[in-house]
Structures are given as C-alpha cells and as structure tokens.
Structure 1
Amino acid sequence: MKTAFTELVGVRHPVVQTGMGWVAGPRLVSATAEAGGLGILASATMTYDELAAAIKETRSRTVNPFGVNLRADAEDAGRRADLLIAEGVRVASFALAPKRELITKLKDHGIVVLPSVGAARHAEKVVAWGADAVVVQGGEGGGHTGGVATTLLLPAILDAVNVPVVAAGGFFDGRGLAAARAYGAAGIAMGTRFLLTRESTVPDAVKQQYLDRDLGGTVVTRKVDGMPHRVLRTELVDALEKSGPLTGFARAAVNAARFRRLSGLSWGALVREGLRLRHSGRTRAQVLMAANTPMLLRAGLVDGDPAAGVLASGQVAGLLRDLPRVADLIEGIVADAEAILRRLGDGCCA
C-alpha cells in the first residue's frame, strides 16, 4: 500500500509502531521493519550508550528503515541527534516539538523529522520549521494524551498542513487504516496493538492484564505526573487517584532518585529540567512527578508488577484479545484495508 508516507520514509506499508518507553526495543522495532512497517525505538528511557547499542542491535536484525524517538527537551538531544546522523537512522520522531535548529540539522543529513502533535497550531508550527510529516494522536491513545477524539483532531490537522499526516489513537485493524486513508491520512500509528504482540518484551502476565480489559478498562489520570495520562485501571491507579498531595510527593521523590541513577542524569540536569517545567506553569509537585513517570512505567512494563507501576494504554485494549506475530498483524491490517477500499471504490457499502 503506497502512500506519501511510505514513499517519504522508504517502507512498504503505512503502519507505524510508536516509540513506547520500556517497550519499543530492538526486537519489536526490527520485527516491524522486517514486516514492512516503520518501527521506532524509544530512547527517552535509555542512556546515550544504551541507545547506541540498541541502534546497532536493530541494524543487525534488519536492513530496512527504522526510526528513533527523541526527547526534544533532553539535555543531550543534540548529541543523540549526532548519533542518529552517524548511524544513518532514517527517521527521528518527537513527542514534543523539536527546535527549528534541530530539525534543520537532521534534515540536512537526510533524516526524516516526524513530530507528534495534538493540535492544528502545533502542526502548523513544526511544519513551518521544516518537519517532513506529523503524527496526530487523538484522545483515545495511551500515555500522555489530549481530550479531542481522533475523528475530530485528524481532519482539523489535515486541513492545516500539506505534509503527510499519520493518524494515531484508536487504531488496531484494517478498518482503521481504511478509515484513516478515507480521511486523507497517509498512514496509521499504533502503540497498544504492538505492545500486545509476540515480539513485545512486556511480561506475559502484564499482557494478560491488557487482554482482560473491556472498553472501560482505561482511565485518564493526572496523578502520575500532573499531565493527562491514559493508563489501565489498576489498584495502584485507583490509590493514586485517591491520594493526597503529600503521599504523591513522597512517592515521586523516591522514584525521581531511582530514575536519576538508572538514566545516568545528574541532579543538576534534573534541577534544570525542573526549572524549565516551572517556567511552563507547573507546580513543584508536578515537576518532581515528571521524573516519577518513567519508574512507574518501568515497574509495570519491565518488572511485571502492576501493583507497583502504571500501564500506559490506549482505549483499544478493550477490543484486543490476541497476541499475533508482528508480521501477521501488519499483513492482515493492510490486506483488510485494501479489500475495504476496493469494495468502497466499487460502490459497495455492505
């Protein structure tokens, strides 16, 4: 299925596996690339050296294009961009808008810049700065998310920019890809659906937690880091929702220290990050809780302990009941979408 996006990044199918922290490692990313989609490594939860090793391992597993998700506001964002350039990574994706200078640097070295956006004005800004395409995530998506559904956000951004737009939030099958193409999108991006595959390294017991949920099984909470965060409903999340500011602050302080040791960041870097967030209007508790987030996610997604961690999830978890191979997943989505579009093209709506 050729689209403007597949032509841009050099993949066979317009299906993107998002850069989920603690989940999108070399095994999942290379499986996606081998199946013809675009796999994206999650680097925000990696040290620089771990990222370098992950890129090399992914390269050893596939010759096809893949991407790396970068934190635009990270202390070493420039150094990590240099690593992508040196390693010839095809795509740099961002959850937050990268600076104009960073976009220019990456593009000058032939790297496709793919930010995620949650509003038309954000899309217009990054495209004006040179972004090659954008990912649009509606409120159905997992992790940090907004309040506008994909069905409204997607057409708003398609009307605002003239670059390939990839739709995210609520996608999991061929019907979704066909619908996105009908809207005018050049592809779809999925997180939870790829988390629930055989190649995903998330512990099996945790995967079962997702598979057991219905459509009411997720909740958007601000108690993780002060920002809207869609996660599975668990006893821990319920407790966080009921907790007062002192309890949340104490938990966040412990996890911030653990994340500093794990990531290799200095206390100075965390302080500078905190000052930046303070300037954006967030409270002291929210600043500290921002460092709390990676450790809560790690406890659930890596250590397999939902009682001690949170599990980011899109609402699609309520419709998923299997753990397919990545290749079967992508091939099935594309084949079903093509069949739907052919029927619609023939005038059949049944």
Structure 2
Amino acid sequence: MGWVAGPRLVSATARAGALGILASATMTLPQLREAVREVKSRTEAPFGVNLRADAGDAGERVRLLIEEGVRVASFALAPSQELIGRLKDAGIVVIPSVGAVRHAQKVVAWGADAVLVQGGEGGGHTGQVATSVLLPQVVDAVGVPVIGAGGFYDGRGLAAALCYGAAGAAMGTRFLLTKESTVPDAVKERYLAARVTDVTVTTKVDGLPHRMLRSDMVAAMESSGRIASLLRAVRHAAAFKKHSGLSWTAMLRDGRALRHGKGLTLSQTLLAANTPMLLRAAMVEGRTDAGVMASGQVAGLIADLPTVAELVAATVGQATARLTELAAQAGP
C-alpha cells in the first residue's frame, strides 16, 4: 500500500470505524511526521503506522510514533524484541505482519500484541501458502489476536476470517479501490477491469515473489536480460535517491536488509531498495507503462468504487447477516 495508504485514505478509514494504517516506507521522516499530524487533524479515532523493521532509521521512526502519540505500530517484517519493547513501554499496540507460523510464534514471544497473517492471495510481497491454510495454523499456534489478510474484500470474507478464529480481516486492494484512495482514476480502471487471471506473481521486480497486475511493464521485466535489468535498476535507484535524500550506501544497506543478504546480485540489491519508484510511477503518476501495480487476487472480484464509509458499513452488515444466518441454521 505504499503511495496509497496516505492521510486521506487512513483518516477516512478511521472515521468509518476501521483501523487505517499509514504506509510509511515511502516517506522520509519529515514526511511521516507531517502525514501523522494530518491524520490527527482530520480525526480523533485511532490509527496506525506501518514501518519497515529493517530500515536503517527504524529506531528514529519508532521515536516519532511515540512523540506523536500514534496508537498502533504495524511492521512489514518482524521487528526486533528491542523495538517491540520500546513501543509497548509507550503504550503503543504492536502488530507485526507474518507469513509463517514460526514467525508469528517468534514475535509473540517477544511481546507482540497481535499478528497480521497474510496468505499467498495477498498483493505485493507474498508467500506460497493460501490464507485458508495459513490463518487457522497461526490461530492455533499463538495466544494473541490474529488478523487475516490476503483474499478478503467483503463481509463474507470477514465472516470467514471470524469463523477461522481470527479477530478480524485486513484488506489492501479493496481499500485501494475506494473514492478516498488517491490512486489515479485511470489506474483504478485497470484494477476494476482485471480478471482473477490478470493477477500474477513475479520475482523480476526485486528478486522476491511480488503479486501484481499483469502489464506491459511486467512482461518487459520478465523477458529482459541481466544487462537491461541492471540498467533499469540503476535508473530507478538514482530516481529514488533524489526523492528520498538517502545516500547510495544507505540505499544499498536497506536493499540488502530486505533480501536478508541471500544471493544478491547488484541489480537485485538496487531494486530491493528502490521498488517504491516502480510503484510510484503507477500509483502517483498514473504511468502504468513505466510502473507496477501491486494487487491481491481479489482485484478480479471487485467491480465498484464505494466511499470508505460505504465499504465498511457494507462489509460489517454483510458479515453480520451471514453469521446470523449460519447461527439460525445451526439451531438451538
């Protein structure tokens, strides 16, 4: 949800009664502070901030959340025990995202308040295990609230998550396709026109499995050789360096952290640090020819652009109705 879950979408989500999460990985520290304050100016409802636990300035970002009184911190990768402790000491709820049972058990042992479990249907960086298999595994393995993600887009999905034992469901693509989402209209139309089979997984963006919409850009990356990939990586790295103000050393360090140092080529290191520029081209500039569109498989099932308030009300209403029907069928 980088470049998507900004102050407007997050504040609308919070006002509607759901938990909006600012995607901060694409923000500098000053931009993050500005975004947090903008959300606070729009609503008094709780909201959270998603952090990259492996970022070089993760400690500074944690301090910012504490200073600004943010209520929830979520993480794209498992945070250290030290970061969890600092946040919990400040009264901030910690919700790491996990893709495996062992990761959930590890962060819970370190003090995480809840875990968000994303199955393979989810957009962006993803795994191979389906939510319907992974979610009940994690629910059975940990003693904290579990939030299901990957494949959810309506009230039936929320009801299913609750039946698996989850405390709720998280939705990315569904909230991207709302009126408050700042994604350009032409890009939203690409998502709405997509079929389930138009969502693919590629490792050509940064060397990791990445679920996104099929596009000419993805096809070009899939068919390009090593030299073309390296040139593209350098170009995007230079663009991100200008945008973020990071040094080459800092960007390469973050790239290696994202890949955990496993078999890195120079091209993969650069792209791991600078994948945000590929997302920005589409999600901010509307250039689907020069960017990528992270997407869950549910894009093929979504056909409308409600307001966030309409979406939350419809989701909760449908889930309530479905659970009521099931209870009636079960009898006394």
TM-score range for the pair, normalised by the shorter chain length: over 0.9
1:120 and 2:88 matched: no
Q: 1:182 to 1:255 in 2, by over 3 A?
A: same
Q: How far apart in 2 are the matches of 1:203 and 1:121? A: 38
Instruction: Give the SS at the match of 2:289.
Output: coil
Q: 1:278 to 1:63 in 2, by over 3 A?
A: closer
**Counterpart among 67, 82, 94 of residue 75 in structure 2:** 94
Q: Which amino acid aligns with 2:151?
A: G
**Counterpart among 212, 220, 225 of residue 231 in structure 1:** 212
Q: Which amino acid aligns with 1:159?
A: D
Contact 1:253 1:292 in 2 (8 A): no
Question: What does residue 297 of structure 2 align with?
Answer: 315
Q: 1:320 to 1:85 in 2, by over 3 A?
A: same
**Counterpart among 136, 143, 151 of residue 132 in structure 2:** 151
1:182 and 2:163 matched: yes
- CA-CA distance at 1:348 after TM superposition: 5.9
- CA-CA distance at 1:164 after TM superposition: 0.3
- CA-CA distance at 1:286 after TM superposition: 1.4
**Counterpart among 291, 295, 301 of residue 273 in structure 2:** 291
1:52 and 2:36 matched: no
Question: What does residue 4 of structure 1 align with?
Answer: none
For each residue in 1:226-277, what CA deviation from the matched residue of structure 2 results, as whole angstroms up to 9, or x when unmatched?
0000010011111111111111111011101111111121222123334544
Question: What does residue 305 of structure 1 align with?
Answer: 287
1:43 and 2:24 matched: yes
For each residue in 1:181-233, what CA deviation from the matched residue of structure 2 results, as whole angstroms up to 9, or x when unmatched?
00000000000000000000000000000000111011100000000000100
Q: How far apart in 1 are the matches of 2:139 and 2:256? A: 35
Q: 1:212 to 1:59 in 2, by over 3 A?
A: same
1:82 and 2:82 matched: no
Q: How far apart in 2 are the matches of 1:208 and 1:85? A: 38
Instruction: Give the SS at the match of 1:170.
Output: coil
TM-score normalized by the length of structure 2: 0.97
- CA-CA distance at 1:279 after TM superposition: 3.0
1:345 and 2:332 matched: no
Q: Which amino acid aligns with 2:297?
A: Q
Instruction: Give the SS at the match of 1:68.
Output: strand
**Counterpart among 281, 296, 312 of residue 263 in structure 2:** 281
Question: What does residue 249 of structure 1 align with?
Answer: 230
Q: How far apart in 1 are the matches of 2:36 and 2:299? A: 29
For each residue in 1:157-182, what CA deviation from the matched residue of structure 2 results, as whole angstroms up to 9, or x when unmatched?
11111100000000000000000000
Instruction: Give the SS at the match of 1:167.
Output: strand
Q: How far apart in 2 are the matches of 1:159 and 1:186? A: 13
Percent of aligned pairs sharing the same letter = 65
Q: How far apart in 2 are the matches of 1:99 and 1:109? A: 16
Q: How far apart in 2 are the matches of 1:98 and 1:300? A: 29
Instruction: Give the SS at the match of 1:337.
Output: helix
**Counterpart among 237, 240, 248 of residue 221 in structure 2:** 240
Q: CA RMSD in A?
A: 1.2
Q: How far apart in 2 are the matches of 1:249 and 1:345? A: 57
Q: Which amino acid aligns with 1:40?
A: I
Question: What does residue 331 of structure 1 align with?
Answer: 313
Q: How far apart in 1 are the matches of 2:252 and 2:121? A: 33
Contact 2:254 2:273 in 1 (8 A): no
For each residue in 1:97-143, what CA deviation from the matched residue of structure 2 results, as whole angstroms up to 9, or x when unmatched?
11100000000000000000000000000000110000000111100
Matches within 5 A, 1:66-77: 66-77=47-58
Instruction: Give the SS at the match of 1:22.
Output: coil
Mark the runs of 5 or more structure 2 residues left unpaired by the alignment: none
How many residue pairs are counted as aligned between the two chains?
A: 330
Question: What does residue 206 of structure 1 align with?
Answer: 187
For each residue in 1:51-99, what CA deviation from the matched residue of structure 2 results, as whole angstroms up to 9, or x when unmatched?
0000000000000000000111111111110110011101000010111
Q: 1:342 to 1:299 in 2, by over 3 A?
A: same
Q: Which amino acid aligns with 2:308?
A: V
Mark the runs of 5 or more structure 1 residues left unpaired by the alignment: 1-19
- CA-CA distance at 1:291 after TM superposition: 2.3
